[in-house]
Amino acid sequence: MTDHIEQEAISGIPLLGDKVPEMEVQTTHGRMKIPTDLKGKWFVLFSHPGDFTPVCTTEFIAFEKMKKEFDKLNCALVGLSIDQVHSHMKWTEWIKEKMKVEITFPIIADNGVVASKLGMIHPGKGTNTVRAVFVVDPNGAMRLMLYYPQEIGRNMDEILRAVKALQISDKNKVALPANWPNNDLFGDEVIIPPPSDEKTAATRKTGGGVVCEDWWFCHKKL
């Protein structure tokens, strides 16, 4: 019974705020310790079902073309699948030769340990890793998770937007509205967290460039 519970914990999907477990992995850039080697940086860890597959190829090219935008946010990109490192290397060579795009971020050659610990293998979708995305902060904490089925390619603009939004939220202690920075009501304004006591609520509508629709619904430009 205990073994069964422990196995469920190992293979379960992590929770927001959880620390990424320490793992030493083989990548196309050599051995890495995750998250230790990326301490002090944000990083996006994303899995793909397999090398030499069309949708995954389009995703890796899209990530690479946006890498400079992630770099500006001090955010590294790290890919992963359960293919061997030699397969990764031949695949990226093919992408460079045929598609004229050089993949410059590391790709983890997982033996199943990382995929199991982070819930990247979903039995209903076969034995390959699904399209999981984990955004991890400089302290190694899981801040955002997305899971896509194998059939649907990811939107890299949304992943980049999410990293920007998390950084702005952390720095300014604010929340971000739907479709930020292009919200239908307030554009790129941010949401002020609701007051936690009556005194703050009573004075909420005064000063500081804050606009309130009601005491609990206030927004402002940064």
Task: Please say if 56 is a catalytic residue.
Answer: yes
pLDDT of residue 125: 56
Give the number of domains in the chain.
2
pLDDT of residue 136: 97
What is the domain extent for residue 178?
173-222
pLDDT of residue 139: 96
pTM of the prediction? Answer: 0.88
> Are 91 and 143 within one domain?
yes
Q: How does pLDDT run across 33-53, given as a tens digit for each residue? A: 999 999 999 999 999 888 999
> Are 13 and 80 within one domain?
yes
Q: Which helix (H) or strand (E) holds 10?
A: helix 2-11
Given a cut of 50, the residues of the chain with pLDDT beneath it are 1-11
Out of 56, 75, 212, 218, which one is annotated catalytic? 56
- Alpha-carbon gap, residue 52 to 42, rounded angstroms: 28
Q: How does pLDDT run across 85-102, given as a tens digit for each residue? A: 999 999 999 999 999 999
> Are 184 and 123 within one domain?
no
Contact present, 143 and 165 (Cβ < 8 Å): no
pLDDT of residue 5: 35
pLDDT of residue 118: 83
**Residue 46: inside a domain, yes or no?**
yes
Q: CA dihedral in degrees (34, 36, 40, 46; nearest 10)?
A: 0
